Amino acid sequence: MASEKVALVTGATAGIGLYTALGLARAGMRVIVVGRDPGRTEAAQRFVIERAPGAQVETALADFSRLAAVRALAADFLGRHERLDVLVNNAGLISPDYTESADGYELTIAVNHLAPFLLTNLLLDRLKASAATRIVTVASIAHKGASLDPATMTKPSKWTPLSAYSRSKLANILFTRSLARRLDPTLVTAACLHPGVISTDIGNRAGSLAGFGWRLLRPFLAGPDKGAETSIFLATVADPMPFHGAYVIGKAVAEPDSLARDDRLGEALWQESARLVGL
């Protein structure tokens, strides 16, 4: 029905994204589960439907290491849905080795920042037309201590799995703040969050030493259902205005690193990102 709320969740085949999709389905939204593997995406759809009987759950495929696939995802969604109420930019990775995307960009920044930057911009008119709507981006406390030069971020001179991940999470926060400045919050709000240090597979690929430490620590961490709580909160809270442009931990606005609050850097990042993705 026309009034049914529609949510698109990227990286929704496992971990935090899967439980975010479940939470939004339980909140009565029609949920589009986005993944890159057909089998895992269909399994995620079944997982949500089994735990939220009667839920309307669809699947969509996109490999975020390819900007052409992000464009195809947006076109497919716009062709199928007249409204979009919630966009959750959740997809992310830690690459264990230096790798470049299909477009020739360092893989971590390509998947974790450039792909959601492009997807958000391609869906923005539909979000505005469906107002009042929300954009929720999963950042991380891992941004603390990171540095970012937009001019060299796709071909960094110094690279480790964790430095690349931290740089991409810093980009998520800067992007959210820049996006918020461009939006009328009575139409669309944008927020980002740290989900907590959560037991998911992402840390397994953090390099040999960090990955080993992650596997030792993981049994003692909260599960992905806990990690999804802030994303679900921001997607469903009655009044999202206090969180517009904010970095959120739990259910409260938190202060990110000073570099994440550098709006000149945020604007430089926006302009370079728009150039790189062809907007």
For residue 1, name the pLDDT band (cuts at 50, 70, 90).
Answer: very low
Say which residue the tokens 């909260």 belong to.
222
CA proximity to 134, closest of 218, 193, 47: 193
Mean pLDDT for 100-107 is 98
Would you list the DSSP string of 73-104? HHHHHHHH-S---EEEE------SS--B-TTS
Instruction: Write the pLDDT tens digit of every residue in 153-171.
Output: 999 999 999 999 999 999 9
Average confidence (pLDDT) over 171-189: 98
CATH topology for the 6-277 domain: Rossmann fold (3.40.50)
List Cα–Cα distances, 29 to 20, 69, 209, in angstroms. 12, 25, 41
Confidence (pLDDT) at 225: 87
Place of tokens 């391609």: 122
Give the mean model confidence (pLDDT) for residues 247-257. 97
CB 90 within 8 A of CB 10: yes
CA 154 to chain CA mean position, Å: 19
**Helix (H) / strand (E) containing 236:** helix 229-236
**Structural domain boundaries of the chain?**
6-277
Given 19, 98, 105, 165, which residue is catalytic? Answer: 165
Average pLDDT rounded to a whole number, residues 51-68 = 98
Helix, strand, coil: what percent of the chain each, to 5? 50, 15, 35
- For residue 195, the surrounding DSSP H or E stretch is none
Q: How is residue 203 annotated by DSSP?
A: G
Q: Active-site residue 105, yes or no? A: no
> DSSP state, 222?
B
pTM, to two decimals: 0.92
Q: Which two tokens stand for residue 180?
A: 């918020």
**Bridge partner residues of 30 (DSSP):** 6
Which SS3 state, helix, strand or coil, does residue 4 take? coil
Would residue 229 be called left, alpha or beta, if left means φ above 0 and alpha means ψ between -120 and 50 degrees? Answer: alpha
pLDDT at 173 over 90: yes
Residue 22 vs residues 52, 55, 132, 209: alpha-carbon distances, Å? 7, 9, 22, 33
The rounded distance, in Å, linking the Cα atoms of 219 and 87 is: 31
In this structure, the strands spanning 30-35 and 133-138 are unpaired
* Number of CB atoms found within 10 A of residue 15's CB: 22
